[in-house]
Amino acid sequence: MADNDDIPFNRNFPLKPGVVEEVRPGVRRVLCDNPSPFTFTGTVSYIIGKGKVAILDPGPDNEAHAKALLDAVRGETVTHIIVTHTHRDHSPNTGRIKQATGATVYAEGPHRASRPRYESEKHNPESGADREFAPDVALAHGEVIEGAGWRLEAVATPGHTANHMAFAWPEQKVNFVGDHVMGWSTSIVAPPDGSMVDYMASLERLASREEELYFSGHGPEIPEGPRYVRFLIRHRKAREASILHRLGKGEADIPTLVRAIYIGIDPRLITAAGYSVLAHLEDLVARGVVTTEGDPVIGGTYRLAT
């Protein structure tokens, strides 16, 4: 979003689409040409290992990007395809890569919501869910997948989506964090696919781990990852405080809260900001701090609980 001056963002990411960049031994990255307000310069796919390799997050339904990835591993064997989560900018190219390589697909599972939809809710257009995706192997938190010279541990990080997973390479002090942590922006948490309670717990889980260098689904790598995560946790707590401050002046709907909190936001991100506010409100209602008539939904009006 636009107003996160409290987080040390880095928006310097000169990588060009289709170029293969080795960022450290055993880690290459390739940028897809799908820039947007939600994807920054595009989705970053990773090639892990040498000789017998894994491709992590093959990206959107994009033939040119699939070709760039396959060209990058020419003469090597792709043994694993790993997917952090099922948004349409991360998983749809899986089919192309699998067809070309015969590699086994690993992920937490198919797309699912963090909670059942309420009767009054329409389909959330911000979710961009890839509902066609299904892994060959469903991973649980703590499970390990390995190849020639690399070993990744699945780290459940729900919040951005219910099935989001990061993949840690403890020996290298590296973590592939998908969209859970990004160096250029905060993540969108949009109910019912996303959950603020889960997202905050997942941030705490990452912050307690040893990996220092984070490779993200969009934008540049993040040094001192756990320290950066602490900034994100503080930011979300400050966002919650801003919501409560505004509700202290009287009841409000979500558009009113967005106007009060997100000063100078890119107009294209207003809907997403509304869903992020809803994620906070769901949490606050569940904790009994805020009340609303009926279910906490995007069209609701909210007030402080007395």
Is residue 15 a part of any domain in this protein?
no
pTM equals 0.95
Same structural domain, 147 and 242: no
Q: What is the pLDDT of residues 97-111, one digit of tens each?
A: 999 999 999 999 999
**Beta bridge partner(s), residue 48:** 27, 54
Which pLDDT band, with edges at 50, 70 and 90, does 2 fall under? very low
Query: Do 178 and 249 lie in a common domain?
Result: no
pLDDT for 6: 81
- CATH number (domain holding residue 66): 3.60.15.10
Q: What percent of the chain has pLDDT over 90?
A: 93
**Structural domains counted in the chain:** 2
> pLDDT (tens digit, 9 = 90+) per residue, 20-50?
999 999 999 999 999 999 999 999 999 999 9
Choose among 189, 154, 191: nearest CA to 169. Answer: 154
Residues 106 and 215 in one domain: yes
Tell me: do 129 and 161 sit in the same domain.
Answer: yes
pLDDT tens-digit map of 244-270: 999 999 999 999 999 999 999 999 999
**Domain boundaries, position 274:** 238-304
What pLDDT, on a 0 to 100 scale, did the predictor assign at position 134? 97
Contact 194, 280 (CB under 8 A): no
pLDDT value of position 202: 98
Q: Are residues 204 and 286 in the same domain?
A: no
Q: Verify that 244 and 196 share a domain, yes or no.
A: no
**Residue 1: which pLDDT band, with cuts at 50, 70 and 90?**
very low
Task: Give percent above pLDDT 70 in the chain.
Answer: 96
pLDDT value, residue 117:
87
| Shared domain check, 123 and 185 | yes
Residues 109, 227 within the same domain: yes
Residue 127 has pLDDT above 90, yes or no: no
Mean pLDDT taken over the chain:
95
